[in-house]
Amino acid sequence: MFSSLLLFVVLAGAAIAFTPAGFQPASSNNLTVVFGNTLAVNGKNILKAETAQPPTIGTSEKLFGTYTVIMVDPDIPPATAGGSTSELLHWMQSGLVSANNATFVGGVKIFELINPTNTSALATYIQPSPPNKSPTTHRYTQMLLNTTGNSSALSTLTTFAKTRTNFSAVNVVKNTGLNVVFGNSFNVTNVTLTQSNITKTTAGVAGGAGSTGTGTSAGAAATSTGKTNGTTTPKSAGGVPTVSDRRGAYIAGLGALAVAFMLL
């Protein structure tokens, strides 16, 4: 089983990365992450509202041993514009084991990673909440470590988990001496409109509501008129515009902006 897993990593590694491109420590082996029934994989945009509770996580094969999940946000805006982004530790939970039986979660068959011994979190889950400050899209990244019987690795993690800000996943994982065995990321975007964005765009208003199709995905078409009703956007429709889509929406004009805003 172990060798087939390794082969899988080798084959998949070249083409795809399941931690964000450029992020370290990288993994090309899928960790499945699901909020309720919404799959939060492959960098997909997820509504903040769906992320209130810790996700269900799992793998397509049953794992043997005990695991620790780490979730970070590497896109914390700098204190002063032009500075570099930093990392925040959102979650660190040890004591996870594969369930005996696979279950369908978010339409995917997984062996859920569960905490049957009620091991306390090394860092409790904090919900994603990207501020209205560049970068407004944050890549919430999950890493699974094999901490089976490894008290020295767990002790290292316990120490690092005490400081969430200016976290360095690459440094922490290096200190455990372990590799990331499974990884994943999803995006959450803050699209709160500032007055300057609206003013900037006013000059370009042309298409209005008729152009909304340009900047938004399938979810937009299903959006009704009312106030902010993002939580009812079809969960699998990817209703949140991507970053480049949003640029399209700005160009399309205020109508598109209004729709994009309502979606969230």
Ligand X SMILES: *[C@@H]1O[C@H](CO)[C@@H](O)[C@H](O)[C@H]1NC(C)=O
Name the site residues for ligand X (rule: CB under 6 A). Answer: 2, 5, 8, 12, 29-30, 41-45, 48, 63-65, 100-101, 117-118, 131-132, 134, 137, 139, 146, 148-150, 152-153, 166, 168, 171, 176-178, 181, 187, 190, 192, 194, 196-197, 224, 226, 229, 232, 242-243, 264
Residue closer to ligand X (CB basis): 30 or 93: 30
Q: Measured from the CB of residue 264, what is the shortest distance to ligand X in angstroms?
A: 5
**Are the beta carbons of 142 and 71 closer than 8 angstroms?**
yes
Q: Measured from the CB of residue 147, what is the shortest distance to ligand X in angstroms?
A: 8
| 31-52 core/surface letters (b: 16 or more CB in 10 A; e: else) | bbbbbeebbbbebbbbbbebbe
Q: Measured from the CB of residue 171, what is the shortest distance to ligand X in angstroms?
A: 6
Residue closer to ligand X (CB basis): 57 or 63: 63
Residue closer to ligand X (CB basis): 91 or 250: 250
Residue closer to ligand X (CB basis): 103 or 208: 103
User: In angstroms, how far apart are the furthest CA atoms of the chain?
Assistant: 63
Q: Measured from the CB of residue 91, what is the shortest distance to ligand X in angstroms?
A: 18
Percent helix, strand and coil across the chain, each to the nearest 5: 30, 25, 45
Q: Which amino acid is present at 229? A: N
Q: Measured from the CB of residue 195, what is the shortest distance to ligand X in angstroms?
A: 9
Phi and psi at residue 213, in whole multiples of 5°?
A: -60, -30
Q: Measured from the CB of residue 231, what is the shortest distance to ligand X in angstroms?
A: 7
Q: Measured from the CB of residue 213, what is the shortest distance to ligand X in angstroms?
A: 18
Q: Measured from the CB of residue 232, what is the shortest distance to ligand X in angstroms?
A: 4
Least Cα distance to 222 among 209, 237, 203 occurs for 237
Residue closer to ligand X (CB basis): 120 or 192: 192
Structure tokens at 252: 């399309």
Residue closer to ligand X (CB basis): 174 or 213: 174
Which run of H or of E encompasses 72?
A: strand 67-76
Least Cα distance to 73 among 19, 128, 35 occurs for 128
Task: Indicate the SS3 state at residue 83.
Answer: coil
Residue closer to ligand X (CB basis): 80 or 118: 118
* The three-state (H, E, C) secondary structure of 6-31, written as one string: HHHHHHHHCCCCCCCCCCCCCCCCEC
Least Cα distance to 190 among 135, 257, 127, 262 occurs for 135
Task: Indicate the SS3 state at residue 37.
Answer: coil
Q: Which position's Cβ is nearest ligand X?
A: 177
70: β partners: 92, 143
